[in-house]
Amino acid sequence: MVRDYQSIVGMEARGQFLDMVGSLPDHVAACVGGGCNAMGLFAGFIDDEDVTLHGVEPHGTGEELGQHAATMTYGSDGTMHGFKSVMLQDDAGEPAPVHSVASGLDYPSVGPEHAFLKSIGKVNYHAASDDATMKAFYALSRYEGIIPALESAHAVAWAMDVAPDMKGQSILLNLSGRGDKDIDYVAATFGHGEDYAL
């Protein structure tokens, strides 16, 4: 249901990209918390064999349980909130503590369609650390004048990491939200971002 509602984003992105660039993107990427914005975007491209789909999870501050919320990277089969999917869990099968600099990505599971798409190799999943995300947040703000939500900045971080090796290819990123909601937290915690200059 969420995928279908959000799919308008994927359909519009596909149409606008075709109009602006004249071809489909080589890569389409979105951050993944519970998975809604990514699923909506992917829905517009799911039948396009030549488009590679990427979901970007929060790697937080490290790989230990509790330091990240990278469910697709570190999770295992589990049931939470009434659905079976991949889950970060403790030995008793209870949801594990999670962390991300982006509060909207702090979730120890992911919508089951993502687990399915990973299992059939249709979507590639990656994880971006808090540090890489903050670097991307400041870079997009400074160089493009676009303040991304901290959640969305995870996808930007992935793109900044891989783009140098993708010369001649196009990447379409979902900016799932504006960073206005995060700016007070960012300013209070990271100041002008001197530690995250490119």
Cβ distance 170 to 45 under 8 Å?
no
- Whichever of 181 and 198 has its CB closer to ligand PLP, that residue is 181
In the shown chain, the binding pattern of residues 20 to 39 toward ligand PLP, with x for contact by CB under 6 A and - for none, equals: -----------xxxxxxxx-
Helix, strand or coil, per DSSP, at residue 13: helix
CA angle 121, 127, 130 (to 5 degrees): 170
Pick one of 13, 88, 149, 186: the residue that binds ligand PLP (CB under 6 A): 149
Pick the closer one to ligand PLP by CB: 87 or 149.
Answer: 149
Task: Name the 3-class secondary structure at 178.
Answer: strand
Does 86 engage in binding with ligand PLP (CB under 6 A)? no
Q: Are 51 and 24 in contact (CB under 8 A)?
A: yes
Which of 10, 44, 58, 177 binds ligand PLP (CB under 6 A)? It is: 177
Task: Judge whether 10 and 41 are in contact, CB under 8 Å.
Answer: yes
Pick 80 or 166: Cβ nearer ligand PLP = 80
Instruction: Name the residues that contact ligand PLP, by CB under 6 A.
Output: 31-38, 104-105, 149, 151-152, 176-177
